[in-house]
Amino acid sequence: MSSLFFILSTICLMIFLLISVAYFTHAERKILGAVQRRRGPNVIGLFGLLQPLSDGLKLLTNEQILPSSSDKIIFYLSPCITFAVSLMGWSVIPFSQHSFLTELQLSSLYLLACSALGIYGILMAGWSSNSKYAFLGAMRSAAQMVSYELPIGIVLGTIVIITGSFNLNTIIDFQKETLWFVFIMPLLFIVFFICIVAETNRHPFDLPEAEAELVSGYNVEYAAMTFALFSLGEYASILMMSSLVIILFFGGWLAPISILNCVPGVFWFSLKIVFFVILFVLLRAGLPRYRYDQLMEIGWKVLLPATIGFLIFTYTSLWVLNGLPF
């Protein structure tokens, strides 16, 4: 019975996630339309609400184009890997105190591992396409993701030192007893947010998909549903990284003030995700794209030394104040 319940919960979570990703794309187009003083999609359905379903049906029925010189098996396997990896991390995300698929003691490390595995699908896509543009986009993306995973891991290590646990639920409970970490370490939150924007290849760090010089990056040879799988994986990763920053710095499902904890935690968690979705879209609407050398310099010369310094400062402070073993 428990196995059946787990399977049904997994299916429900995947369906809910796919619907969320579909309407994330719709919200992005509507917000960008509002910023640019136009309507955005508004034809199919009331206020254009059926536009994501129409787009999905169109991509599903479009002809799949296969480059003649590509490695066919890896070419088709790459988007499946990217999409599957983007879904794996959601199994440990706690939406409320009792709403999560499974609980791991090393759940934060599991999320980082799922994020790192996404590199393989992108590299396989760039290599199997047998296109110089796709391969350059894949190499860019891999270098960018590896570069910004280091500061993300160090920031996580800093929070683990403070809370004493890799468990996401324990990190949320710690913030319930004290303050949200965004108020304790606001600069660390800014660094972490910059890192997750670069990690998900979003504007202004969307260099792997630079249309001006690489046409479309690693997915330039993909069309129809294989292209849609890359898009779904990217948006699912954005939602997952937004969930991670909410858990680490914004108290997860916790309400802003204790008197509002009577409201279900799923509501507060969803509200915070909506805030970060709007923030991601506004970054795309308002910021120009960085050059690639600037992107790498920010990661290696600014963010990495800053996070290492903050980690050393945090551990030294706790060692002095609480007598931790050195």
pLDDT tens-digit readout, 148-185: 888 999 999 899 988 888 888 888 888 888 888 888 88
Report the alpha-carbon distance of residue 70 to residue 76 in Å, rounded.
Answer: 10
Report the alpha-carbon distance of residue 30 to residue 36 in Å, rounded.
Answer: 10
Report the alpha-carbon distance of residue 240 to residue 88 in Å, rounded.
Answer: 10
Residue 324: pLDDT over 70: no
The CA distances from residue 8 to 2, 83, 88, 280, in Å, are: 10, 20, 16, 31
pTM for the model stands at: 0.88
Cis peptide before 204 (omega within 30 of 0): yes
Which band of pLDDT confidence, cut at 50, 70 and 90, is reported for residue 18?
Answer: confident
Report the alpha-carbon distance of residue 288 to residue 298 in Å, rounded.
Answer: 15
Q: Hey, how many other C-beta atoms are within 10 angstroms of the C-beta on 198?
A: 26
Which band of pLDDT confidence, cut at 50, 70 and 90, is reported for residue 290?
Answer: confident
- Kindly report which listed range (129-143, 201-215, 244-258) carries the lowest average pLDDT score: 201-215
Which of 121, 64, 104 has the alpha carbon at shortest distance from 236?
121
User: How do residues 22-78 score in pLDDT, each as one tens digit?
Assistant: 888 888 888 888 888 888 888 887 878 888 888 888 888 887 788 877 788 888 888
Report the alpha-carbon distance of residue 165 to residue 302 in Å, rounded.
Answer: 27
Residues 6+ apart with CB under 8 A from 155: 188, 191, 192, 195, 248, 307, 310
Report the alpha-carbon distance of residue 15 to residue 13 in Å, rounded.
Answer: 6
Domain range list for the chain: 72-322
